[in-house]
Structures are given as structure tokens and as C-alpha cells.
């Protein structure tokens, strides 16, 4: 291991270190029984005649096997969220940050949930801005760390800028951190960069978040993934809600992910092709000042009078994300790459509005 000084129990919250987790009926008896009278379920059935009267597997064993095959990661280094990767973000604060005492580092402009979740947990957030071209300032991030810095959030490819951070800068931060460094890879499937997943072995303080919401097209399902050392995952499993993913979703996800995993690559290919078509079309519009380099399924576009353009687009039924008030994103709209037809409509309306 690159950092042998890292001792997980040293950075856990005191109350979490020795916690006795809730023990579900499913924890106490696993397997098939003749009669199940241990969980106060309705033994007669479920309303609507569905098959939903029994509590689901609290650890999603079957689904994890499927995800393990897809990701090439062992089951004991994986946590699955039934409320997306946002669930993982909240659990990391619960595990590591003493409210009112510990702090986290975020690098704006970036994904909003790191800060919102910090506030919910009464954890101070130190902001170390990205450079003008949206790169990580590794030395400044490291300088901002103190003994109470338990979490450092790195989003790469970053939302809303769309770019990936320089790999060596990220590595520098991971190696220097005494706390946990979280790399949010929500957009990794669209990226030319390699995932950090396969470097977890080297860095005991690294956590990688991924999601089925973007490239996989399963935002509605709220399926999130967290990968880390098996020690960190064991802690997360102790503090998660007992049945954090419903049985319908476990069954559905097992089915589609074992049968149709290759469709994800087709979607990625299509989306990237559309992104590359969209860029020159946007460049033809004189009001467009800059299109930032994207390693994701969206483009950050600097455009004259962006807020007015946004409002006009809304009036025409086309909704993009107004980022004009976001730090370093003045006059910027964040535009998700749509289907060919959607992108064409967007371009037509933009031409009308900006003429
Ligand atoms: C969309 C997004 C997520 C949300 O993922 P869910 O799994 O849907 O909760 C996480 N991180 C970033 C940076 C995102 O843009």
C-alpha cells in the first residue's frame, strides 16, 4: 500500500467506531424455511396480489454478484445505494464527520450535493476553487487540509464543467490526505480517462462513487455505487438503512444488468457521436462565445446574455440548466446532449433566439 500510515479507525467518528448495527430478521436467519414468522410480515400476501410481502435482501447479494462481474470489483468492496450515489455521499458524512467539529473540502464549481449534505450534517465545508479552466489546484487543496479534514470531494469528470482533472493532481491529493478522498465518477463512462476503481488497492483512503443514472440510462431507478477498501465498505454497511434497496429494484436490476449490460456501450457511443455533432452546430451561433471541453454527456457553453437565452428557451419548451450564477460559470448554460432530433430542435431555437 502506498500509504501505510492510514488507519481507518483513527478517522472514523467516535460513535460510529464501536456501533452495534441494527440486526434485521434477514440478518438473523438466512436461507429457506418452512414457515417464516420472524419479521411481522403479512403471511397471507400483499395487496394487489403481488409478491411483495417479504422483506428484501438487506445486502443485495445477487445484484452485487451481477455488478461485480460488470465492474470487475469484489462484492466486499462495493456498496449499492437504493437512492442513487447521493445516498453514498450522505453515508460518508455520517461515517467520518463529527458534526460541528470535522470539515470537508469541495472544489467549486462542482456538484452541489457535497455541500448540501455537509450542511445537513452540520459539517463545515472549505472551498478551494478550481482554476479558470476548471482544473484542480492540488497544492491549495492540500494546504487547506487540517487534522479535522475527513472528506475531500473530487468530481472527475466534473459537473458542471464537464472536464476530467489532471490525473497527477488527483494522485497528489490522495497521497497527501490523512482523511478520505472521494472521487465521484458519475460521468466516467463518457470519459477518455481511466477509472480510479482499479487503483483502490493502492490507496486505502480512496472512495470511488459511480452511478447507473447517466450512461446506463437508469436515473429513475436510483441505483448508486460506492467502491472502497473492504474495511470502509464494512463500516458503510453497518450504518446504512437496513433495507436500503427495495426488492423490486433488486430483481429488476439483476435481470437487466445480466442480460443487457452491453447496451450501455451503445448508448455511450451514440451520445458521444451526438456530442461531437452538437459542438460545431453550437459554434456556428455567433452568441456562443465558448464551449468548454467535455468528457461527459453534457456541454458547458458560454453564451452572450445566457440568462435571457435560457428564459427564451424555456418559453419554447426547451429546458437547459442555467448556470449563470454559479462561480466561474458566468453566462454559462449546461446543456445535456440529447437525441439527434432534440439537439436539432435546440439548435433551431437557439438560432432564432440569438439572431
Ligand atoms: C448526476 C450526478 C450524480 C447523481 O447520481 P445519482 O446516482 O443519480 O444520485 C452524482 N454525482 C454527480 C457529479 C452527478 O452529476
Contacts of 91 (CB under 8 A, 6+ apart): 79, 226, 236, 239, 240
User: Collapsing DSSP states into helix, strand and coil, what is residue 336?
Assistant: strand
Residue 192: DSSP 8-state: S
Phi, psi of 32 (to 5 degrees): -105, 125
Separation between Cα atoms, residue 68 and residue 343, nearest integer Å: 35
Spacing, Cα 355 to ligand 1 middle (Å): 35
Query: Could you report the per-residue pLDDT of 71-116, keeping only the tens digit for each?
Result: 999 999 999 999 999 999 999 999 999 999 999 999 999 999 999 9
User: Is the omega angle on the peptide bond into residue 137 within 30 degrees of 0, that is, cis?
Assistant: no
Q: What is the C-alpha to C-alpha distance for residues 103 and 96, in angstroms, rounded to an integer?
A: 10
**For ligand 1, atom 10, which residue shows the shortest CA distance?**
186
Ligand 1 nearest atom to the CA of residue 86, by list position: 9
Which protein residue has the closest C-alpha to ligand 1 atom 9? Answer: 84
Cα 255 to Cα 247: distance, rounded to the nearest angstrom: 12
Q: For 210-249, write each residue's pLDDT tens digit.
A: 999 999 999 999 999 999 999 999 999 999 999 999 999 9
Atom 12 of ligand 1, residue of closest alpha carbon: 186
CA of 221 to the centre of ligand 1 (A): 13
> At residue 224, what are phi and psi to the nearest 5 degrees?
-115, 160
Closest CA to 138 of 104, 112, 176: 176
Closest CA to ligand 1's atom 3: 186
The per-residue pLDDT for 49 is 84
**275: helix, coil or strand?**
helix
* Ligand 1, CB within 6 Å, residue ranges: 84-86, 111, 155, 159, 184, 186, 211, 213, 219, 224
Query: Which band of pLDDT confidence, cut at 50, 70 and 90, is reported for residue 4?
Result: low
* Nearest alpha carbon to residue 274 among 346, 188, 340: 340
In the three-class reduction of DSSP (H, G, I as helix; E, B as strand; rest coil), residue 68 is classed as: helix
What is the predicted pLDDT for the residue at 355? 81
Measured CA to CA, the distance from residue 179 to residue 279 in angstroms comes to 39
What is the strand order of the sheet 298-303 is part of? 288-291, 298-303, 332-336, 321-322
Residue 208 has pLDDT above 80, yes or no: yes
Residue 145 has pLDDT above 70, yes or no: yes
What are 48's three cell numbers?
394487489
C-alpha cell at 217: 440510462
pLDDT score recorded for residue 109 = 98
User: Measured between alpha carbons, how far is 290 from 156 in angstroms, rounded to an integer?
Assistant: 21
CA dihedral 108, 131, 269, 218 (to 10 degrees): -10
Alpha helices by DSSP H, the chain: 8-11, 14-17, 25-28, 61-71, 85-96, 113-120, 138-144, 167-176, 230-239, 247-260, 263-283, 306-315, 340-353
Atom of ligand 1 nearest to the CA of 223: 7
Cell of 81: 445505494
Phi, psi of 207 (to 5 degrees): -125, 135
Q: How far apart are CA 62 and CA 197, in angstroms?
A: 21
CB atoms within 10 A of CB 266: 10
Q: Which of 92, 134, 159 has the most ligand 1 atoms within 8 A of CB, as the residue to mutate?
A: 159
* Cell representation of residue 323: 448556470
Q: Per residue in 168-206, pLDDT tens?
A: 999 999 999 999 999 999 999 999 999 999 999 999 999
Residue 2: is its pLDDT beyond 90? no
Mutate to test the pocket of ligand 1, among 91, 106, 109, 111 (most ligand atoms within 8 A of CB): 111
**How many residues belong to the chain?**
355
Amino acid at each position: 500500500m502506498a500509504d501505510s500510515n492510514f488507519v481507518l479507525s483513527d478517522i472514523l467518528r467516535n460513535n460510529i467506531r464501536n456501533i452495534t448495527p441494527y440486526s434485521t430478521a434477514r440478518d438473523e436467519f438466512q436461507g429457506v424455511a418452512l414457515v417464516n414468522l420472524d419479521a411481522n410480515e403479512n403471511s397471507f400476501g400483499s395487496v394487489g396480489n403481488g409478491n411483495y410481502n417479504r422483506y428484501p435482501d438487506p445486502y443485495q447479494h445477487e445484484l452485487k454478484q451481477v455488478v461485480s462481474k460488470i465492474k470487475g470489483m469484489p462484492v466486499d468492496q462495493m456498496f449499492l445505494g437504493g437512492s442513487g450515489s447521493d445516498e453514498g455521499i450522505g453515508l460518508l458524512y455520517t461515517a467520518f464527520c463529527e458534526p460541528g467539529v470535522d470539515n470537508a473540502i469541495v472544489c467549486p464549481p462542482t456538484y452541489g450535493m457535497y455541500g448540501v449534505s455537509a450542511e445537513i450534517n452540520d459539517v463545515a465545508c472549505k472551498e478551494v476553487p478550481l482554476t479558470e479552466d476548471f482544473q484542480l489546484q492540488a497544492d491549495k487543496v492540500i494546504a487547506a487540509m487540517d487534522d479535522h479534514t475527513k472528506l475531500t470531494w473530487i468530481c472527475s469528470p466534473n459537473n458542471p464543467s464537464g472536464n476530467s482533472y489532471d490525473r497527477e493532481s488527483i494522485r497528489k491529493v490522495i497521497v497527501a490526505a490523512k482523511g478520505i478522498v472521494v472521487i465521484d465518477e458519475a460521468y466516467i463512462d463518457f470519459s477518455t480517462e481511466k477509472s480510479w476503481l482499479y487503483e483502490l488497492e493502492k490507496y486505502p483512503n480512496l472512495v470511488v462513487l459511480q452511478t447507473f443514472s447517466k450512461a446506463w440510462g437508469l436515473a429513475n431507478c436510483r441505483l448508486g455505487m460506492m467502491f472502497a477498501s473492504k474495511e470502509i465498505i464494512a463500516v458503510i454497511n453497518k450504518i446504512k438503512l437496513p433495507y436500503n434497496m427495495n426488492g423490486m429494484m433488486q430483481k429488476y436490476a439483476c435481470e437487466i444488468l445480466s442480460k443487457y449490460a452491453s447496451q450501455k456501450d451503445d448508448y455511450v457511443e451514440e451520445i458521444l457521436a451526438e456530442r461531437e455533432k452538437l459542438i460545431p452546430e453550437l459554434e456556428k451561433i455567433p452568441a456562443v462565445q465558448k464551449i468548454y471541453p467535455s468528457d461527459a454527456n453534457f456541454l458547458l457553453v458560454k453564451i452572450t446574455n445566457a440568462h435571457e437565452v435560457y428564459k427564451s428557451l424555456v418559453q419554447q419548451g426547451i429546458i437547459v440548466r442555467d448556470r449563470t450564477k454559479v462561480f466561474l460559470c458566468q453566462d454559462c448554460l449546461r446543456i445535456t446532449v440529447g437525441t439527434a432530433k432534440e439537439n436539432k430542435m435546440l439548435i433551431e431555437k437557439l438560432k432564432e433566439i440569438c439572431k
